[in-house]
Structure 1
Amino acid sequence: MSTALRDQIVTALGAFASSSRLYALTLGDGDDDGMLLVEAFSSDDAIDAIGTRDVIVLSTSAHLDAGTWLGQPAALDISQADGTRTRFAGDISEVEMLGSDGGLARYRIRIASWLWRLAHVRNSRVWQERSVVEIVDSVFEAYQPLARWRWSDDVGSRMEGVPPRSYCCQYRESDLGFVRRLLAEEGLCWRIEQDQDGPGIVLFADSTRQAAVPADATCAAEDGIRYHGARSVERQDTIQALAARRSLHVSLTTLLSSDYKAKQIVAASSPSLVRPGRNLPVLESFDMPRPYAFATREQAQRHADMRMEAQEARGQLWHGRSTVRTLRAGTRMTVTGTPLRSLGEASSFTVVRVTSFGVNNLPTVAQQALAQLFGPLEDVLQSLVSVERPDDLAQALAQARETGYANCFDALPADIVWRPIADDQPTALGSQSAIVIGADGNDQPNGADELYCDRLGRVRIRFHWQDDDCSCWVRVAQRVAGAGMGSQFLPRIGQEVLVQFLENDVDRPIIVGALYNGRGEGGIAPTPGGRFDADSNPAVFAPAHDQARSGQGNLTGGNSPVWHGASADSDGHRNPAAQWGVRSKEFGGAGYNQLLFDDTDGQGRVQLRSTHGAASLDLGHLVHAADNYRGSFRGLGAELRTDTYGAARAGKGLLVSSYSINHSASMRDSAGENAAGVGLLTQMRKLVDVFHSTSVMHQTGGLAFHSEGGKVADSRDPMITLACKEGLGASAGQSLQLANGETVVLVSGENVQFNTGSQMRLQAGQVIGVLGGATSVTEGKEGLQLITAKDMVDIQAQTGELKVKARDEINVLSANGHIDWAAATRISLSTTGGANIVIESGNIEVRCPGKITVHAGRKS
């Protein structure tokens, strides 16, 4: 049976001359040797679409190497009503064998414009400070010389005033999807055009303008397209059906976005100009497209208007069916002779989509035999309709079978602008890492130039998938941020950072942290189950000691942590990852500032340290340390030290005490309380009161600061208090100076001793009062001793009297010499009995109420 059908088909087709074909296919340079005969075709043509033709061809060879056709240029020639031909040219993007029997085969060949290549190329890249036109041009340039495109004249006026995009990212997105999304965001479209140079695209902005959407070729030649029936004998292609399709859409579009630079909300609303009914509810579409999407309200209004125009256009579509073989999406047609009163004598439309079918005028015998051999042609053509199938698809197929061609189309009144609906922004789920770069795009710091940021604290980064230096200023998330408060961390050049995206929008990156990416000098590479890695070298940790670090380098040139647990044993760093904290680094040097926490069991430690001046505050279990190395024990408690100058200042007072506080008590002393010290001062005050009274009684000077009923100084006064439970030591290598503006009081409950290796000076502006034996007398009965072991004792009263008094005896002795008494005028020695010796003016006068006894050792 199949052999007879095959022979019947071959015989019928043999008499079918190429000159009489409605459709012809040309491959490559046009030398196809008649191997392929067009049986039918189906096409899908729309604004912002690739534009494809699926051509069903027959061949007398079932063994053609169809794979070699892919990528080759091809053209489908279509005969028109006036005998001329129109052409759709492109590249072969798909080839499929639909069936074969013996030497006869049916193939499907898809011809597409050069845009189909963009759908297969996926890229991740960034543009900065570029306009949409420049970005699209840069994408298309990669496809030259096959790519042919031009911008309509209306695009310039449309994009006037639109600022360039500071940061535009294509991330894991096809070139076609990226271009379509980018154009839709600005309300731009494209259409396919065919000219003598081949297929190309025209990008336009305003479909109501003739420069953007030209007239259909048939319409231009015939001054319109008739609304008329279709028969094969018709001189002109006509439109057979035309009907309006109305759909309800939103009546108000509102867009809102926040601008972190201006610290304001930017919003705009666009009401619909179409009023389909009085009783319809107000439907509002409220959307926040993305963070800081608009810099001004004018920009927000422009995008709100575009969204509303897209809604209104799709609510006023017309659907039709015709045999106009030149009809293309993105062209304008005028319909004449329509019976619809609302259209009047003529109405102009913009065609937005055309679904076409063509059936070649093969002999009837051949058509019937092919249907029996390979199946009905209509089923094949229906399966090729990839978009939503029109309701009148069956009628169009029947018309194509009868007259050779038919199409279904969607159109829009020409005075209504067509806007694309913006695709959703490609999502960047999860996080990515990137490298911080400098002003020149380098990821290595240049000397002290380790930080590159702007006034908002933003830095530039380069993702790992980028092959250039394009990046934008990226904000850095902080743990705390407020007006004049918060934390501040700015990643430096060369650091790897963790990046997330606001609302998963790839155009809105934000840095949320930093990552270590190195491998330590003695580190262990990741292995299954943590098994030992032969490449690790724990011996590099052994040389570390209290004053020197080791094993802190990087094997991969990245950034490794200063504290780690790679050497927990006692022969290494003795650190089982117990140390952690924050360390900075000076620009262009090795100095740093750090806050270190050491959580070693029973040996907790906190260190605040700066290498500048070797200043540090250590609390807890004090040990020597060198980076990750935990050294020998140094003590317990607190240590504040620096190699340079230090100062402690407290405007309300300062208490330094060696008295501890019982932390288990239900109540503790407040910070300003000094109960033990105040108690000791109170005792000393009582002792001072006793000595003051005794001094007055013994006719020596009382205490200068004493006042009856006085109190110990209040701890709330701005004073420095030293309270020591045991002792207080003060030593100086050179001088020790005590100075104050009023009174210095030194009180001791027992002894006070002043020793000096050289001289001692005791000077007073007024009285010096010395009182000894005020409460008790020592065993030797000396109340006051004034002894010089060497040299003389000089006691003078230079402007007044020198009085020496004693209740009992006064002994003046010279152990080895003599005693000299001298006076400028008079020396008088007297007793209470009346005896008196006066030496005055060269005379000696002796007065004696009793007897005078003179003793001599010998008589002269």
Structure 2
Amino acid sequence: MKRRVTIQTPLGEALQFHRLAGREALSQAYAFDLDLLGNSNALDPKSILGKPATVVMETESGAPRYLAGLVTRFGLSHEDNRQAFYKMRLRPWLWLATRRSDFRVFQDQTVPEIVAAVLGRYGHPMEQKLHRSYRPWTYCVQYHESDFDFISRLCEHEGIYYYFRHEAEQHVLVFADDITSSHAPLPGGETVRYHPHEKAGMTGGLEASERIYEWAQAEAIRPGHHFRNHYDFEKPQADLASRRQMPPGHDHDGFEQYEWPGDHLQHDDGETYARLRTEEQLSQRSRVSGRSNLRELAPGHTFRLRDHPREDQNRQHLLLAVAYDLQENLQASEGAHASEGSVQRFAFEAQPTSYAWRPRRSTPKPRTRGPQTAMVVGPAGEEIWTDRYGRIKVQFHWDRIGQKNENSSCWVRVSTAWAGATFGAAALPRIGQEVIVDFLNGDPDHPIVTGRVHNADEMPAWQLPQQKQLTGIRSRELGGGKSNHLALDDSSGKVQAQLKSDHQSTSLSLGHVGRIEDTAGRKDDRGQGFELRTDGHGAIRAARGLLLSTEARPNAQGHITDMRETVGRLTEGRDLHESLSQVAQQAQAHEAGDQDEVARALKAQNDAIRGQGGPSGPGEFPEFQEPHLTLASPAGIQTTAQGSTHLVSVEHTAISSGAHTSVATGNSFLVSAKDAVRMVAFNHGIRMAAAAADIDITALKDSINALAKLDIKMEASRITITAKEEVVINGGSSYTRWTAGGIESGTNGQWRAHAASHSMVGPKSDGQPRLPQPPQLPRGQLDLYHQYIKADGATRQGVKQGDYTVVDSDGGTHTGKLDANGFASVSGLPIGQAKVTFGQDPSDPWDKGSYFAKPDRWPVKAASADAPSVGSGDGGVGAPGGGLGAAASSLMSGGAGALGNLGAGLGQAGGALGQAGGPMGQVGQIAQMADTAQQAVAAVQAVQQGGAKALIGQVAQTATGMATQRIAALAPKLPGALPGQTPGFAG
């Protein structure tokens, strides 16, 4: 008799179908358990395990219905005298994915792409009926989980589900994401009739008509609200929260499911996931369970119910699950009626297609059990591979696919000991180093580097355990062998701190100084205290003043620039200058006022070094008022040079000594003074001696005056007195006068002459003496530059045809105009300091040829041609100009000459304006209050239109509180024009 259910296996007729029980559902790997009849009890399981098998059912229309799968279990159950009974389990090929587990990294792929890559290795058919777009996952890790669990949790997360389409020789895995467009109706059964048992009067056996005879629908309380949020370090202030509300309409439907972290970095993705999670919750609110004898029933198909007494049930449904109970009785094989020997029963679950269906997230995401180590990787030829956030690439030890390059992982953030807004600690892991990697929330998709460890290839900075006393940091030159280190040496009795660079062996050592070299650590001792040394160049700069002193301050007591002893000695030296100068003036050795000017300068210098006022707050002390360099010692100061020593001061040079001042020179002692040389000794006189050669005293223009209260003595082998016009010798009341006209002698007393002989002969003359002519001092030249300067110091453009005025050291005035490059050369100046004043820039700032001519940045030209402008101001010798960022190089005409040297940005502008002093310094403070370049440009326009007070009004709009009060207080003090002078030196 014909059998209604049969089976096809690689063993052919050796096996016959007897019974099948199993359940098939959306997003589940089914399992069908079969009882088979065999003609032999010796069938080898290896001959069929893993092979495909298909159960074939004959439907009411005569078309076959298939249930296919792979044989995953087979064995002999029992036997009797006539037959052998076997048990078989069929599973889908997807079940094979439960047999393989892996660690694997996927980057920049969507979930459908990842699923295709994972399952593509199995070589079985699959199909994707997906209708929405999917975001790429920057970094997704299969972490110690089976392929099946991995793709299951990804699909569940994205709202993707699957079912199987059974065919004669295969079964196809179908992925879907939309209940309305991813499913086909039942074959030949788009509409299914509802007809219960009591109406059919069923008595058993194969029914004449296939239909649904049991139908039960129920709803359950489900939450209809979902809220999720996430954090993106690249947009730390971004609001990534997403909320979805789809209340089912029953009581208590307002409960909210809150999910963190949301695993989304874009707000649109958050909205998508919020919708998916809400649909997942609501998928279970309305379910239908039923029974049928319709052999076409299969999960993933739709049907429309009809003839149900409740009209709201007569609508389209999606089959979610089908349980099969198929049986071919033994009697059917022994000649009984087929209707009595064949049974097909089906139980099913369904839901209306008006509700979305999403798989329940039942597959947990694996969590790490603690930190791991990994190797830092990057492209070949690089030693450090990082991005703008200091992130790195790593390869985990479990990664057998990565190539140990920049593609081995996503960018991984690196934890540091200190991280702030452009401040903190920076030490990037280098390629080849081993780092400790932890995972945020234990999620393998979110690694973070939390530390570094040494290994046999990456040994510690100093040799251990020999150098265990060293604590610190040691870096390594990129692509080289040199290093830098900060070492804290805790050697017993020899504590030191050392900052060192191998480049030109430059180091600062504090404490018990000893050499610390390479990995060998501490070597020979070199002394105690501190040492700053280098084999290269060195410089010490202190913009507000520098004190170098050997005055003791035990245990760092007192203010850092406390120099009371130094100031006392300087004051004593100044007093010595002042008191001796007064006596010298009385003795007419000094001109009145010369030494007074020096004394005043020394007093001002002492005041500037001492600082003014007392502490005005905690941690505040009197400081240098000017940027002096002060050297001080309670013992002595020595300087030596193998070459020359040059001391220069533009103003005065004063040397004071409480005892002797000794000058010794190997060759000559040369003194040159433009004006005068004055020397005075009060107690023991002045003595000059030339051990060899002559002593020459010459007055090239005026006289030589020798005055002594007692005697003037001259002793020599020969004394010659020569006068061009007259020689007069006067002793008491007697005299002799020698002129070209003759010799006249006279006395009121006795004239006595003694001679061995005496003769009077004719006239004779020795000729006129040839006196030297006074030398002419050379004249100098002063080169002037008045240009606009960028913030980085680059020259932009000269002030064309600008006026200048130079006042030389003798008070002479020289005026002229600059050339097209802002340059002029003034020659014929006396040697000495000169003062330069630049006029305003004569060019129109809005002219296309002007430096300011940037129409997209510069404000509109003022309508009034009579608007007051800022007057001329300081320029400078060299590079005096200023700049205003990319918008303008200075305030209006004159460049730096308008309001001082306006630097790039108003921050620098304020500092430069402050250099002018007085009201100009206050304008600089105001300029520093502007926040943006746009405000700076507006301020420039305001000055051009309304003068300096307009600048205050413009900036005041951006200031509040105390700043506003300060600006208001300054307004009356500002002049209409801001002139100034810039020193130069002609030479």
TM-score by length of 1: 0.78
Which residue of 591, 603, 608 corresponds with 1:714?
A: 608
Q: Please give the residue correspondences for 1:260-279 in structure 2 after superposition, counting only pairs within 5 Å.
A: 260-263=233-236, 264-272=238-246, 274-275=248-249, 277=250, 279=251
1:41 aligned onto 2:20: yes
Structure 1 residue 692: Cα displacement = 2.5
In structure 1, the partner of 2:125 is: 148
Paired residue for 1:780? none
Taking structure 1 as reference, are residues 60 and 134 closer, same or farther at Cα in structure 2, changes over 3 Å only?
same
Partner of 2:763: none
Choose from 800, 808, 826 the match for 2:702. 800
Instruction: Give the unaligned 5+ runs of structure 1.
Output: 1-18, 367-399, 520-557, 569-574, 778-782
What does 1:757-796 align with in structure 2 at a 5 Å threshold? 757-772=666-681, 774=682, 776-777=683-684, 783-796=685-698
Q: In structure 2, what is the equivalent of residue 633 of structure 1?
A: 525
Question: Which residue in 1 is equivalent to 2:737?
Answer: 838
Look up the match of 2:846.
none
Instruction: Kindly state the Cα deviation for residue 107 of structure 1 after the two structures are TM-superposed.
Output: 5.0
Alpha-carbon distance, 1:360 to partner: 3.8
The letter of the residue matching 2:454 is Y
Aligned match for 1:219, one of 181, 186, 189 = 189
Residue 461 (structure 1) aligned to one of 394, 404, 408 = 394
1:497 aligns with 2:401: no
Select which of 256, 273, 278 maps to 1:303: 273
Are 1:683 and 2:578 an aligned pair? no
3-state SS, counterpart of residue 568 of structure 2: helix
Change (3 A) 1:512 1:677: same
- Secondary structure in structure 1 of the residue aligned to 2:743: strand
1:515-569 CA-partner distances (Å, limit 9, x unpaired): 333x2xxxxxxxxxxxxxxxxxxxxxxxxxxxxxxxxxxxxxx332332314x1x
From 670, 673, 678, the counterpart of 2:562:
673
Local SS of the residue matching 1:481? coil
Q: Cα 1:59–1:710, aligned 2, differ >3 Å: closer, same or farther?
A: same
Q: 1:102 to 1:834 in 2, by over 3 A?
A: farther
SS at match of 1:240: strand
Q: Give, in whole Å, the separation in 1 of the partners of 2:359 and 2:638.
A: 87
CA shift digits 1:567-603 (9 cap, x unpaired): x1xxxxxx235243141423x3334443333232232
Deviation at 1:497, TM superposition (A): 3.0
Aligned residue in 2 for 1:820: 720
CA separation of 1:183 and 1:672: change in aligned 2, threshold 3 A? same
Residues 579, 628 of structure 1: 8 Å contact kept: no
1:365 offset after TM fit, Å? 14
Q: 1:416 to 1:710 in 2, by over 3 A?
A: closer
1:652 partnered with 2:544:
yes
Preserved CA contact (<8 Å) 1:58 1:105 = yes
Post-superposition shift, 1:116? 0.7
Structure 1 residue 184, shift from structure 2 partner: 2.3
Q: Partners in 1 of 2:179 and 2:115 — Cα distance? A: 20
1:266 positional shift: 1.8
Q: Which residue of 1 aligns with 2:867?
A: none
Q: For 1:202-213, what aligned pairs fall within 5 Å after superposition? A: 202-209=174-181, 212-213=182-183
Which of 343, 347, 350 is the matching residue for 2:315? 347
Counterpart residue number, 1:294: 265
SS at match of 1:836: strand
In structure 1, what is the Cα distance between the partners aligned to 2:656 and 2:272?
A: 87
The 3 A distance-change label for structure 1 pair 725 and 224 is farther
Aligned to 1:322: 292
Q: Which amino acid aligns with 1:824?
A: K
1:162-184 Cα deviation digits (max 9, x unpaired): 34333332222211112122222
- The answer to whether the aligner puts 1:246 opposite 2:219 as a matched pair is yes
Equivalent residue runs for 1:611-622 within 5 Å? 611-622=502-513
Aligned in 2, Cα 1:239/1:402: closer, same or farther, shift over 3 Å? farther
Equivalent pair of 1:62/1:102 in contact (CA under 8 Å): no
| Residue 479 (1) aligns with residue 417 (2) | yes
Alignment of 1:340-489 (within 5 A): 340-343=310-313, 346-362=314-330, 404-422=343-361, 423-438=363-378, 442=379, 445-446=380-381, 449-466=382-399, 467-468=401-402, 469-489=407-427
SS at match of 1:135: helix
Q: Percent identity?
A: 26
Name the SS for the 2:656 alignment partner.
Answer: coil
**1:596 alignment partner AA:** A
User: Relative to structure 1, is the Cα distance of residues 676 and 32 closer, same or farther in structure 2, using a 3 angstrom cutoff?
Assistant: farther
Could you say which residue in structure 1 is the equivalent of 2:163?
191
CA contact (8 A) 2:224 2:281 kept: no
Secondary structure, counterpart of 1:663 in structure 2: helix
Query: Using the alignment, how far apart are the partners of 1:498 and 1:784 within structure 2?
Result: 82
What's 1:549 paired with?
none
1:401 and 1:320 map into 2 onto residues whose CA distance is 24
Q: Structure 1 residue 315: deviation in Å?
A: 0.8
Contact conserved, 1:834 with 1:849, CA < 8 A, in 2? yes
CA separation in 2, counterparts of 1:307 and 1:59? Answer: 50
Is the contact between residue 225 and residue 333 of structure 1 (CA under 8 Å) also seen in structure 2?
no
- CA distance in structure 1 between the aligned counterparts of 2:341 and 2:660, rounded to whole angstroms: 133
> C-alpha deviations, 1:28-54, integer Å up to 9, x for none?
x233624xx655332121111112211
Question: In 2, Cα distance between the equivalents of 1:513 and 1:708?
Answer: 61
Equivalent residue number for residue 92 of structure 2: 113
RMSD of aligned Cα (Å): 3.2
- Aligned AA for 1:114? W
Counterparts in 2 of 1:349 and 1:675: CA distance versus 1, 3 Å: same
Q: Is the 8 A contact 2:229 2:259 kept in 1?
A: yes
**Higher RCO (CA-CA < 8 Å; seq separation 6+):** 1
**Structure 1 residue 60: deviation in Å?**
8.0
Q: Are positions 1:748 and 2:668 aligned together?
A: no
What secondary structure sits across from 1:503 in the alignment?
helix
Deviates more, 1:250-259 or 1:694-703: 694-703
Contact 1:565–1:578, Cα closer than 8 Å, also in 2: no
Counterpart amino acid of residue 413 in structure 2: R
Letter in 2 for 1:706: A
CA contact (8 A) 1:564 1:579 kept: no
2:222 and 2:730 mapped to 1: Cα distance?
134
What is the deviation of 1:74? 2.5
Does the 8 Å CA contact 1:563/1:577 hold for their aligned counterparts? no
Measure, in 2, the Cα distance between the counterparts of 1:700 and 1:414.
Answer: 119
Q: CA deviation at 1:674?
A: 0.9
Q: Which deviations, in whole Å up to 9, do the C-alpha atoms of 1:216-258 show, x marking residues without a partner?
A: 34635x8556444662141234333221221111121122223
Rounded to whole Å, the distance in 2 between the matches of 1:503 and 1:236 is: 58
Check the 8 A contact 2:68/2:168 in 1, yes or no.
no
Q: Are the aligned partners of 1:127 and 1:470 in contact in 2 as well (CA < 8 Å)? A: no
Question: How many angstroms apart in 1 are the aligned matches of 2:536 and 2:345?
Answer: 95
Worse-matched range after superposition: 197-206 or 495-504: 495-504
Residues 113, 200 of structure 1: 8 Å contact kept = no
> Conserved in 1, the CA contact under 8 Å of 2:461 and 2:474?
no
Match of 1:705 in 2: 598
1:92 and 2:62 aligned: no
- Give per-residue Cα distances to partners, 1:424-452, cap 9 Å, x unaligned: 433234223333333xxx4xx41xx4333
Q: CA deviation at 1:824?
A: 1.0
Q: CA deviation at 1:117?
A: 0.8
Q: Using the TM superposition, give the Cα deviation of residue 121 of structure 1 relative to its aligned residue in structure 2, in angstroms.
A: 1.0
User: 1:470-511, CA deviations, whole angstroms, 9 ceiling, x for partnerless residues?
Assistant: 432333333333333333333333333332322222222233
> Residues 708 and 134 of structure 1: is their aligned pair in 2 closer, same or farther, counting only changes over 3 Å?
closer
Contact 2:56/2:66, CA 8 A, preserved across alignment: yes
Matching residue of 2:640: 731
1:603 aligned residue: 494
Given that residues 223 and 253 in structure 2 are in contact (C-alpha distance below 8 angstroms), is that contact kept between their aligned partners in structure 1? no
For residue 103 of structure 1, report the CA deviation from its aligned partner.
11
Residues 799, 283 of structure 1: alpha-carbon distance in 2 compared, 3 angstrom cutoff: same
